[in-house]
């Protein structure tokens, strides 16, 4: 199972509980109980875990400079009232060869929207784009 770390602003009902049915998921705040974890500490904390995938709606993490071969950052440009879309989008993302397994995800910082996926990866300065596969075609 994949280790998914959720940013603290993601909702329990719409995101955490739904994801927990099919993937190992943990909140960021649970990594350092009792501590306030500011955004600038997140990359360091991720680097201490075993191949985590960090999920957030905080677009400050959509930053090529945060690429790290030991982790993956997935940014969803959604409003709070759209968070319910994250589990479905995450399932779709994990069906793409570029994100299907942990080893393929590591080193990527991605923006996942309802229309496409954009990502940077370690070792490339190019912004990569993937369209969602068309169902039934």
Return the closest-CA partner of residue 38 out of 62, 3, 65, 7. Answer: 7
- Per the listing, tokens 């996942």 go with 112
What is the Cα gyration radius of the chain?
14
Which pLDDT band, with edges at 50, 70 and 90, does 19 fall under? very high
Is the pLDDT at 60 greater than 70? The verdict is: yes
Backbone φ and ψ for 30, nearest 5 degrees, come out as -75, -10
- What is the structure's pLDDT at 5? 95
Return the closest-CA partner of residue 53 out of 89, 114, 107, 12. Answer: 107
Is the pLDDT at 15 greater than 90? The verdict is: yes
Is the pLDDT at 136 greater than 80? The verdict is: no
- What is the structure's pLDDT at 31? 85
Percent pLDDT > 90 in the chain is: 80
Backbone φ and ψ for 40, nearest 5 degrees, come out as -70, -15
The DSSP symbol for 51 reads: S
111, 118 in Cβ contact below 8 A? yes
């Amino acid at each position: 199972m994949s280790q998914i770390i959720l940013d603290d602003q993601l909702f329990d009902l719409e995101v955490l509980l739904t994801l927990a049915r099919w993937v190992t998921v943990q909140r960021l705040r649970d990594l350092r109980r009792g501590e306030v974890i500011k955004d600038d500490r997140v990359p360091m904390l991720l680097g201490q875990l075993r191949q985590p995938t960090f999920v957030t709606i905080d677009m400050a993490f959509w930053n090529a400079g945060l690429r790290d071969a030991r982790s993956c950052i997935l940014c969803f440009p959604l409003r709070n009232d759209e968070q319910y879309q994250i589990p479905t989008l995450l399932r779709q993302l994990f069906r793409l060869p570029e994100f299907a397994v942990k080893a393929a995800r590591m080193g990527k910082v991605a923006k996942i929207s309802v229309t496409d996926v954009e990502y940077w990866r370690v070792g490339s300065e190019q912004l990569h784009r993937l369209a969602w596969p068309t169902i039934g075609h």
